[in-house]
Amino acid sequence: MSPLNDPRTLFPTVDPPEQTQPEPGLDRNLQPPADLGMDSYVGHERLVGRRALITGGDSGIGAAAAIAYAREGADVAIAYLPEEQPDADVILKAIGDAGRRGIGIPVDLSTLEGCRKVVADTVEALGGLDILVNNASRQIWHDGIENLPDEDFDLTMRTNVYAAYRVTKEALPHLQPGSSIIFTSSVQAYDPSETLIDYGITKAAMNHLSKSLAMELTPKGIRVNAVAPGPFWTPLQPSHGQPMEKVTSFGQASPLGRAGHPAELAGAYVYLASDEASYTSGSTLSVTGGRPTP
Ligand code: NAD
Ligand code: MG
């Protein structure tokens, strides 16, 4: 009997029926459900006693990271929009079940006040902050630049770029040597879709922001990195994130032949937050199902 697991079949193929959810979408309404690692992630005490803030930690990739961080021993604050409370409750329960403190912060991060509040609430509730994951984003597809309204472009920049800059700036006075900042980029930063002009710009910005901040903060003992996912099955996609034909064939053109499940990204976020990555800063870790990135 081979001890190997074939990555093509280790997680179920996602073959979604037609579906649409209002933005921002809920994990609980995804068909088929996404695997967040709830039944599989096993911690190894890599983050014991650390305090993490994960924006967009209610669902998808951020939720998988939140579950993993708690099982690695961290207390975890998650931020999300108020309408996402049902998803957040599931993740907060998982954090509690791991024996750690889970803090839910419903907040609109497209505003400066929201960005200030999320850091202040985290530090007050957890007594400090050691790991910041800038992961919240909006992704709304448009049929070319002529159909991309100025208001949409502006809101995408504020939600994805301004918030990452603002939350990081607010968090910085609380971070000590040994802390880790992680941004969620995307394969869209290198391989853009014509339907995601505004979104793709914001993901390229995450790569740049993480690298310039790494230049500033690594000499102070704070590591800064990014994760660049390929196609992962999350509520971002069927809540106007993709045209319907791309939702129903989601991820199937990737070299592994299937979309990724958020559980398959948890290890990347754990690695970059932990001492295992002590010499890793200024890098982007691509998790793309085989699609090459620069
Ligand atoms: P998701 O919908 O589960 O997570 C995105 C989260 O962003 C939402 O849960 C929401 O809480 C948060 N958010 C959006 N607007 C907000 C606002 N105004 N205020 C506060 N929070 C807000 O989807 P996901 O795919 O897990 O996305 C997580 C990250 O992964 C995003 O940065 C996304 O760009 C990135 N990403 C996803 C994929 C993919 O295929 N799913 C691929 C590459 C990168
Ligand atoms: Mg969500």
Domain encompassing residue 181: 44-287
pLDDT digits (tens, 9 = 90+) for 29-79: 999 999 999 999 999 999 999 999 999 999 999 999 999 999 999 999 999
Is there a domain that residue 4 lies in?
Answer: no
The residue among 279, 218, 280, 273 whose CA lies nearest residue 49 is 273
Is there a domain that residue 185 lies in?
Answer: yes
The DSSP bridge partners found for residue 105 are 79
CA 139 to each of CA 22, 58, 166, 195: distance values in angstroms, whole numbers, following the listed order: 12, 16, 19, 10
Is there a domain that residue 93 lies in?
Answer: yes
CA distance 85 to 246: 28
Ligand 2: distance of its center to the CA of 45 in Å?
27
What pLDDT was estimated at residue 149?
98
Is there a domain that residue 240 lies in?
Answer: yes
Q: Which of 89, 234, 247, 261 to mutate to test the pocket of ligand 1 (most atoms within 8 A of CB)?
A: 234
Judged against a pLDDT cut of 90, whether residue 138 lies above it is answered with yes
Tokens of 67: 């579950």
Domain with 75 in it: what CATH number? 3.40.50.720
Protein residues whose CB sits closer than 6 Å to any atom of ligand 1: 24-25, 56, 58-62, 79-81, 84, 107-110, 135-139, 159, 184, 186, 229, 231-232, 234-236
pTM over the 0.95 mark: yes
What pLDDT was estimated at residue 236?
98
CA distance 89 to 69: 16
pLDDT digits (tens, 9 = 90+) for 164-204: 999 999 999 999 999 999 999 999 999 999 999 999 999 99
Ligand 1: distance of its center to the CA of 236 in Å?
6
107 phi, psi to nearest 5 deg: -165, 150
CA distance 60 to 183: 15
**Ligand 1 atom nearest to CA at 58:** 9
Cβ neighbours for 57, distance < 8 A, ≥ 6 positions apart: 63, 65, 66, 76, 77, 78, 79, 80, 88, 91, 133, 135
* Active site annotation includes 80: no
What pLDDT was estimated at residue 248?
98
Is there a domain that residue 186 lies in?
Answer: yes
Ligand 1: distance of its center to the CA of 67 in Å?
16
The single-letter DSSP state of residue 232 is B
Is there a domain that residue 250 lies in?
Answer: yes
The DSSP bridge partners found for residue 106 are 80
The residue among 268, 236, 256 whose CA lies nearest residue 30 is 236
What pLDDT was estimated at residue 2?
83
Is there a domain that residue 188 lies in?
Answer: yes
Q: Which of 61, 105, 167, 240 to mutate to test the pocket of ligand 1 (most atoms within 8 A of CB)?
A: 61
Judged against a pLDDT cut of 80, whether residue 1 lies above it is answered with no
pLDDT digits (tens, 9 = 90+) for 23-43: 999 999 999 999 999 999 999
| Count of domains observed in the chain | 1
What pLDDT was estimated at residue 23?
97
Ligand 1: distance of its center to the CA of 266 in Å?
15
Is there a domain that residue 114 lies in?
Answer: yes
Which of 41, 80, 162, 199 does the annotation list as catalytic?
A: 199
In angstroms and rounded to an integer, the radius of gyration of the C-alpha atoms of the chain is: 18
- How high is the mean pLDDT of the chain? 98
Residue 284: Cβ within 10 Å count: 18
Cβ neighbours for 19, distance < 8 A, ≥ 6 positions apart: 29, 30, 31, 238, 247
pLDDT digits (tens, 9 = 90+) for 231-290: 999 999 999 999 999 999 999 999 999 999 999 999 999 999 999 999 999 999 999 999
